[in-house]
Amino acid sequence: GAGVSQSPSNKVTEKGKDVELRCDPISGHTALYWYRQSLGQGLEFLIYFQGNSAPDKSGLPSDRFSAERTGGSVSTLTIQRTQQEDSAVYLCASSRLQGYTEAFFGQGTRLTVV
Amino acid sequence: SQQGEEDPQALSIQEGENATMNCSYKTSINNLQWYRQNSGRGLVHLILIRSNEREKHSGRLRVTLDTSKKSSSLLITASRAADTASYFCASGGANSKLTFGKGITLSVRP
């Protein structure tokens, strides 16, 4: 596609429910990143993919968070048993070469846990 | 650990003035990138400087890199009200995630 696409753009969920956030990177980009940003804060690294593998999962806050990437393309970030502190904007980015080239960001998914 | 750290945290200037923002990083890098964010959503890439470069220009933007001090600066000349945004630096390199600092909030007063 023309840019990185994230869906949904907004998600309101009840505490304890599971949510899935989707990211469609730019075609041909091998690297894909997930970040989380709370209101007025910086970007908190969650996980990145090189192809379908995730060399660094160190940023995932707890075992309630998981992510996968299939076919070297679409990625899904899953949060199980959501908590109020999970409320944030979840940003996805992709780049042609991990670490070496500019990253292109999607518009993010604003998750609100009530 | 936070790879990029920007300062100041907030900057307020008059339209037409220059804005200088600084970034420090901790480990070896292949490149240093600057991004801009409006309205708390997606970031937009501004400029990338490689570790073997010392200065780079793009329009009203000038970025410098000092690998001996592990620092970079972003200069926006002749600022405009539309430059009001948050600015982030990010370090990139082999086998490393793209790590962002906490950002600088720039306000340009008309």
pLDDT in tens, A47-75: 999 899 998 888 999 999 999 999 889 99
DSSP state of B64: E
Predicted pLDDT at B96: 64
Query: Which residues of chain A does B94 touch, with a Cβ-Cβ cutoff of 8 Å?
Result: 99-100
Predicted pLDDT at A90: 97
For all residues of chain A together, what is the average pLDDT? 93
Interatomic CA distance for residues A27 and A44, integer angstroms: 25
pLDDT in tens, A26-51: 999 999 999 999 987 889 999 999 89
CA closest to A48 among chain B residues: B97
A99 vs B35, B96, B100: nearest CB: B96
**Cβ distance A69 to A77 under 8 Å?**
no
pLDDT in tens, B15-41: 999 999 999 988 888 899 999 999 767
Burial (0-12, 13-18, 19+ Cβ within 10 Å), A51:
middle
pLDDT in tens, B88-103: 999 887 666 788 888 9
A window 25-64, beta carbon within 8 A of B:
33, 35, 37, 39-43, 45, 48, 55-56, 59
B31 vs A37, A48, A100: nearest CB: A100
Q: Hey, are the CB atoms on A48 and B98 less than 8 Å from each other? A: yes
Number of A/B CB contacts below 8 angstroms equals 68
Flag whether residue B42 sits within 8 Å of chain A, measured between CB atoms: yes
CA distance readout (Å), B67 to A95, B23, B48, B92: 24, 12, 14, 13
pLDDT in tens, A85-101: 999 999 999 998 766 78
